[in-house]
Chains A and B, each alone.
Chain A
Amino acid sequence: MYLAANGRPDAPPRLPGVRRRVPAAVLALGTVSLVTDISSEMVTAVLPLYLVLGLGLTPLQFGFLDGMFNGATALVRLLGGRLADRRGHHKRVAGAGYLLSALSRLGLLLAGGSAGGIAAALAADRLGKGIRTAPRDALISLSGPPESLGRYFGVHRAMDTTGALLGPLAAFAVLWATADAYDAVFAVSFCTGLLGVLLLALYVPAAPGPAAALPAAVPAGPRPPRPPVLRDRAFRRVLCASALLGATTIGDAFLYLLLLRGLDLPPALFTLLPLGAAAVYLLLAVPLGRIADRTGRRTAFLLGHGALLGAYALLLAPVCAPTVVGVLALLGVFYAATDGVLMALAAPALPAAGRAGGLAVLQTGQALARLLGAAGFGAAWTLWGQRPALWAAALALAGALAAAARILPAAPLPSPAAPPIPPVPEAP
C-alpha cells in the first residue's frame, strides 16, 4: 500500500510545498480502518448463518432485525458529524464509534440466544458505524493539502477494502478451525476491534490540521455559530449531483443477481462476485485517486459513473463468461473513481470547522438516494421484468450523468477562507 502511495518516479513535478508522501495520519486512519473492517466483516459474513442456524430465528425475523437498523444509521451519521464539528473532537467521536462497534461483538457473545440482546448488539454496532464515518473522513481531509486529497482518500479506501476482503477469510478460518463455533468468531472479532481502537488512540493525531484547533480555540461561552454548510453553493451542487447519481444506482446485489441468472451460475458464487469487484477497487483506488487529483475530481467522479453505465450496458447485451469479468472490473472502477473521490471533491468546499458535518450530510444524502434507487429498481423489475427495468436504469443513469455534468462546478472548488496549509506530518 505504502509503495503504491509513493507514486511513480516519472510523475510530473509537483507544485512546491505539496508533499509526495502520504501523511502519517492518513496511514494511521487507513490502518485503523483495515483492522476494524477485518473485525466487522468477520461478523457480517457469519451473522445470517448464526442467527438462523445457530439460534433458530426464521429468515423473516432476521430480515426484520437487519432492516430495522439500516434506516437509523443515516441519522446517526449526521449526529456524529455534528458532534465532531462542535468542539473539534473528531478523534474522540470517531474513537467512540470504533469502540462501540468493538464492544458490540462482546454483546453478541454475551447475548447468547436472547433476541433482545442480539438486537441491542446489532444496534450498537450500527450506531458505532454511523458515528465514526464522517469524523474519520473529515480527519483524512484535514490531514494534508487539498491538492492531494484524492490520493489520500484512495489510500484510505484501499486499506479499508483490504480489511473488508480479509474479514470473511478470517471468519472462515475460525469456523473451519472450530467446526462452526460462531462464538469464537465473535471473540476474535472483538479482539481485532479493540486493537483497531488502540491503534486509533495511539497513532492518529488529535489535531491533524488547522480544523481541530479552530473551534476548540473558542473559549466556553456562547456556542460558535453552526457553519453554514448548506449555504455554500459549490457544496450544494456536489450534494445535488451525488444524490441524483445515487438515485440511479441500482445496487450491486442486483448486478450480481443479473450475472448469476444470465449465466445460470451456482448461487454459491454470489458470495465470491463481490470479492472480485472489491479486488479491482482495491487495486485502482490509489491510482484513480491520483489521476483525479491531477485531471480533476469532477471528471473522475463523472467517468466513474460512466463505468457503472458501462456495466449496465454490458448486462443488456447477451451475457457470456467475459461479461462477468467486464462487469466486475467496471464496478471496481466505479467505486475507485467515485467513493473516495467524492469526499475529496466536496471537502475543500467545506470550512474546516464544518467539515465532518458537511461530509455527513453528503454521505447520508447519497446513501438515502441509493436506497431509493435500489428500491425503485426492485419495483421496476417486479412490474416490468428484468430487461425493461435495466433499460430504464441505464437511461436514468445516462440522464443523471448529463445533469450532473451541468450541476457540478467546472472550476476547482474554492476553499472558503482557505487557511494557510500547515506543515504536513510525514510518514516515517
Chain B
Amino acid sequence: MNPPSPRLRLALVVTAVLLLAGGSLGYVLHARHRERPPGQQADASFTVEAPGLYFRDTAGGRIARQDGPGLPRVTGGPSCDRFHTAGSHALCLRKLPGVPARTEALVLDRRLREVRKVTVPGIPNRARVSPSGQVLSWTTFTTGDSYNTAAFSTRTAILDLRTGYLVKSVEQIPLTLGGARHHDPDVNYWGVTFAADDNRFYATVSTRGATHLVEGDLRAWSAKALRENAECPSLSPDGTRAAFKKKVSDDPRAPWRLYVLDLATLREHPLAEPRSVDDQAVWLDDATLAYALPGQDGRAGDIWSARADGTGEPALLVPNGSSPVRVG
C-alpha cells in the first residue's frame, strides 16, 4: 500500500480532528445538561426533630425520613453523601466537585440550619455524632498519604462543639498497642463512635497491615488498642457492646462480616447477616442494628436490619437508602 499523499494525509487529519473534537464537545455538553441533583439545602419543613428513621435516599441523594415500615417516606432533607444525627446536631458530608477530591462537612442543628462548615481533602466515608450531639467525627478517603500513589488512606477528624476545637487528623494521638507506645508513619484511623459521656470513643486504627479496635479518651488525648481485626465500631445505646466489621476473608469481593463485641468480656459473635457489609452499622435500639448493602434489582443501595444477638434473619428495612440513623 502506498502512503497517501501529504495533502490527503493533512485532509484526513483535519477531518478526524474536527469529527473527534466535535464528538468530544458534544458529549461534554450532553453530560453538562443531563439531569443531575444539585447540592441542596433542606426544605424549611424538613427537620430532624420528628422521631423516625432518617436515611439518605439514593435516588436523589437527599436525606429522607420514614416513620415506620410500610409508611410513606418524607423527603426534603439536605443532599449528603453520608449523614448522621444525635442529640442537638446532625452531620452531613458532601463531596465537592473537582479534582483533587474534597469533602464538605456540614454541622447542622436539629432544624437542619448550618452551624459550621469544614472543608477537608478526600471522599466522604464515615460520619458520627455523639449521643449528646456535642462531639462529631468524620472520615474521608484520601489518595496520596500512602506508599502507593494509587492506594487510598483515611483521615479522621474530631470536632468538639463545646470548645469549638477541631482536630483535623487524629493520626497524632498517642497510641498504645500491645502495652507499648506505638510510633509508625503508616497509622490510619477511621470510623469513630462516641460514648454517652462525650469523652470516650472507639475507632479503627490500621498499622503494619493489621486493623485494631482502639478505645480513645478525648480529654486525656490518648488511645489504646483493645483487640485486632475490628473495623468501623458502633457503640450500642447502653454502651456495653460494639458492632463492628471483621475481616473474615482475603477475597476482595467479600472481605467482611458484621460482629458484635461485648466490651466487658471482649467476647464476640457474628450477626445472622451472611453477606459482606462495608458500612459502619448503627443501633436502632439495644437489640437491633441497621446497615447499608449494595442494592438489589438495580438499586444503588439498600438498608437492612438484623438482630444484635445474632439470631433471626436480616430484613430489608429501606430499599434505595444508605446512612440510616434512628431518632427518638
Point out residues on A near B: beta carbons under 8 Å.
Answer: 45-46, 48-49, 52-53, 56, 58-64, 66, 168, 171-172, 174-181, 183-184, 187-188, 191-192, 194-195, 198-199, 202-203, 205, 251, 253-254, 256-257, 260-261, 266-268, 270-271, 374, 378, 381-382, 386
Contacts and interface: CB of A to CB of B under 8 A. Distances in A.
A386 B98 contact: no
B145 interface: yes
Nearest to B58: A56
A188 B101 contact: no
B263 to A, nearest CB: 27
A270 B186 CA distance: 16
Given A179-B36, A202-B9, A257-B147, A53 B95 contact: yes
A210 B254 CA distance: 55
B273 to A, nearest CB: 17
A61 B97 contact: no
Nearest to B252: A64
Contacts of A202: 3-4, 9, 12-13
Contacts of A184: 27-28, 30-32
Nearest to A188: B24
Q: Which 3 A-B pairs have the closest CB atoms?
A: A270-B144, A59-B152, A181-B31
Given A187-B24, A267-B142, A52 B152 contact: yes
A178 B141 contact: no
B23 A191 contact: yes
Nearest to B1: A206
Contacts of A194: 16, 20
Given A46-B99, A176-B97, A53 B123 contact: yes
Given A61-B253, A184-B30, A187-B24, 20 more contacts: A45-B99, A48-B150, A48-B152, A49-B123, A52-B141, A58-B278, A62-B150, A63-B148, A63-B252, A64-B252, A181-B31, A181-B34, A184-B31, A188-B24, A194-B16, A195-B20, A202-B3, A253-B149, A268-B100, A270-B145
A42 to B, nearest CB: 11
A183 to B, nearest CB: 6
Interface of B: 3-4, 9, 12-13, 16-17, 20-21, 23-24, 27-28, 30-32, 34, 36, 95, 97-101, 121, 123, 141-152, 155, 184-186, 208, 252-253, 255, 278, 294, 300-301
A257 B149 CA distance: 9
A307 B20 CA distance: 42
Nearest to B168: A266
Contact of A171 (B27, B99, B184, B253): B99
Contacts of B152: 48, 52, 59, 62-63
Contacts of B142: 267
Contacts of A382: 184, 186, 208
A159 B148 CA distance: 26
Q: Which of B36, B150, B152, B186 has the most CB of A within 10 A?
A: B150
23 contacts: A49-B101, A53-B101, A61-B252, A175-B97, A179-B97, A181-B28, A183-B27, A184-B28, A187-B23, A187-B24, A187-B27, A187-B31, A188-B28, A191-B20, A191-B23, A192-B24, A202-B3, A257-B145, A267-B142, A267-B144, A267-B145, A271-B144, A382-B208
Nearest to A187: B27
A122 B231 CA distance: 30
Q: Which of B9, B27, B123, B185 has the most CB of A within 10 A?
A: B27
A59 B300 CA distance: 18
A378 B147 contact: yes
A180 B294 contact: no
Contacts of A253: 147-149
Nearest to B150: A66
B311 to A, nearest CB: 28
B141 A266 contact: no
A219 to B, nearest CB: 20
A268 B34 CA distance: 30
A53 B82 CA distance: 12
B51 to A, nearest CB: 30
A191 B24 contact: yes
A362 B235 CA distance: 56
A49 B140 CA distance: 12
A129 to B, nearest CB: 15
B241 to A, nearest CB: 25
B253 A59 contact: no
A310 B171 CA distance: 31
A378 B294 CA distance: 34
